[in-house]
Amino acid sequence: MAPTLAVSFNGSSEIIDFVLKKGNGVKGLSEMGLDSLPEQYIQPLEERMCDTKTMSQESIPLIDISKLDEPEVAEAICEAAEKWGFFQVINHGVPIEVLENVKEATHQFFGLSAEEKRKYLKEFSPTNNVRFGTSFSPEAEKALEWKDYLSLFYVSEDEASALWPSVCRDQVLEYMKRSEIVVRKLLDVLMKNLNVTEIDETKESLLMGSKRINLNYYPICPNPELTVGVGRHSDVSTLTVLLQDDIGGLYVRGNNDSWIHVPPVNGSIVINVGDALQIMSNGRYKSVEHRVIANGSNNRISVPIFINPGPSEKISPFPEVLASGEKAVYKEVLYSDYVRHFFHKAHDGKATIEFAEI
């Protein structure tokens, strides 16, 4: 039986109304000083993180990319993308100040009043490209996730200047701009390993034709062991560039049903392969399941940039990958259809990729 709340709501609909419709998010719930977790957030046993499933002795690669031209650095990146699907990079060229500014801006946005944040809810936002929300896909989920977010789809500098929240707009744009240089270098290395010698205009649109950035806020949670910050999933991106604070809580799927913590490393950026790149590389690069645990003592933030194909692009294994006679394991899919499929259901591990399997 679920424990009772210190602050009572009259039924489930009042909690949903408070969190989802009034702009309070789970941050608002957290700040009420709840003794226990509302039942809407209690995850099934199989979705909860258990100590016996974690492997603390393993870690994803940490790669110094200051000398990206050196063969051993390029080799380490490709090996990490093939074996782990995740790696951290240091000496990447994005100034620490830019990273710190975007983290601070994230706190500034979530520090706004519920009335201010409510302006960016789906029903009120001036554009579909700016969205404040909570959990992942509340309409499709049996249990909600303990996370609030601001999602920003980048169309142009002009639109961002006009419509993104002013409290975080400039910092986010600067972070995106600086990170794009890193992304281009990494994609160049990863493509050469697939015998794609040049990222021309067509390939660029396929690999990085659109960008979305999320500001994520995971407030302190009562009974964190009963819920999740983010459920098991893999990203639908080409690459994801993730900035995390110093709290920790991101776990990546390892072997034998284990979960490996991705420890915060000061000044580092986490890179992971998304489903789109797994499809385009015909499975050579791995888009790996990951999740975020809830925290009982600290608020946590993270800022992922999702580097995606353009929505109207059709993605399939690159001809260069299949040139040697390798058989395609994925069919051609319209990227916007793939993304729609992902967002119309709850997080469910690696199930989304089945949409593109032959």
Asked if the model's pLDDT at residue 8 lies above 70, the reply is no
- Residue-wise pLDDT for 123-160, tens only, equals 888 788 999 988 645 455 567 889 999 999 999 999 99
pLDDT, tens digit (0-9, with 9 covering 90-100), for 163-205: 999 999 999 999 999 999 999 999 999 999 999 988 888 899 9
Phi then psi dihedrals of residue 355, to 5 deg? -60, -30
Average of per-residue pLDDT across 114-129: 88
DSSP H or E stretch at residue 270: strand 269-273
Measured CA to CA, the distance from residue 221 to residue 297 in angstroms comes to: 7
Q: How many CB atoms lie within 10 A of CB 161?
A: 12
Residue 337 · residue 298 · CB < 8 Å: no
Looking at every residue in the chain, the average pLDDT score rounds to 87
Please give the single-letter amino acid code of residue 205.
S
Helix, strand or coil, per DSSP, at residue 319: helix
**Exposure string over 281-308, b if 16+ CB within 10 A, otherwise e:** bbbbbbbbbbbbbbbeeebbbbbbbbbb
How far is the C-alpha of 216 from the C-alpha of 238, rounded, in Å?
20
Determine the Cα angle at 152 with ends 314 and 27, to 5°: 130
Both structure tokens of 9 = 């709501």
Residue 8 dihedral angles phi and psi, to the nearest 5°: -95, 145
Is 2's pLDDT higher than 70?
Answer: no
The answer, yes or no, to whether residue 84 has pLDDT greater than 60, is yes
What mean pLDDT is predicted for residues 337-356? 71
Which residues neighbour 106 within 8 Å (Cβ) at sequence distance 6 or greater? 168, 215, 216, 217, 301, 303
pLDDT of residue 228: 86
Using CA atoms, how far apart are residues 5 and 312, in angstroms rounded to an integer?
Answer: 47
Above 50 in pLDDT, residue 51?
yes
Q: Is the pLDDT of residue 27 over 80?
A: yes
pLDDT band at 10 (very low <50, low <70, confident <90, very high): low
Concatenated DSSP letters for 195-218?
A: T-----HHHHHHHHSEEEEEEEEE
Q: What is the pLDDT at residue 216? A: 96
Q: What is the pLDDT of residue 4?
A: 40
Residue 1 pLDDT: 34
Per the model's pLDDT, the better-predicted residue between 142 and 34 turns out to be 34
Question: How distant, in Å, are the alpha carbons of 26, 234, 249, 282, 357 from that of 85?
Answer: 30, 10, 18, 14, 19
Look at the alpha carbons of 273, 103, 148, 339 in this order and tell me if their dihedral is positive or negative: negative
Among candidate residues 130, 131, 181, the one with its CA nearest the CA of residue 159: 130
> What pLDDT, on a 0 to 100 scale, did the predictor assign at position 37?
83
Q: What pLDDT score does 142 carry?
A: 61
> What is the chain's length?
358
